Amino acid sequence: MAEKIVQTAGRTQLGEFAPMFAHLNDDMLFGEVWNEEAIDVKTKCIVTVVSLMASGITDSSLSYHLQNAKAHGVTKEEIAAIITHATMYAGWPKGWAVFRLAKEIWNEEEPAQTDKER
Residue-wise DSSP of 20-54: HHHHIIIIIIIIIITT-SSS-HHHHHHHHHHHHHH
Indicate if the pLDDT at residue 63 is higher than 70.
yes
Indicate if the pLDDT at residue 118 is higher than 50.
no
Least confident of 11-15, 46-50, 110-114: 110-114
30: CB partners within 8 A, 6+ apart = 5, 6, 7
The average pLDDT across 28-43 equals 94
Cα dist. 71→35, 64, 65, 76, 79 in Å? 16, 10, 10, 11, 12
Instruction: Please give the domain boundaries of the chain with CATH numbers for all domains.
Output: 1-38 (no CATH), 40-107 (1.20.1290.10)
Residue scoring higher pLDDT (105 or 10): 105
d(C-alpha 48, C-alpha 43), whole Å: 9
Indicate if the pLDDT at residue 32 is higher than 50.
yes
In this structure, which amino acid lies at residue 13?
A: Q
Least confident of 27-31, 65-69, 94-98, 111-115: 111-115
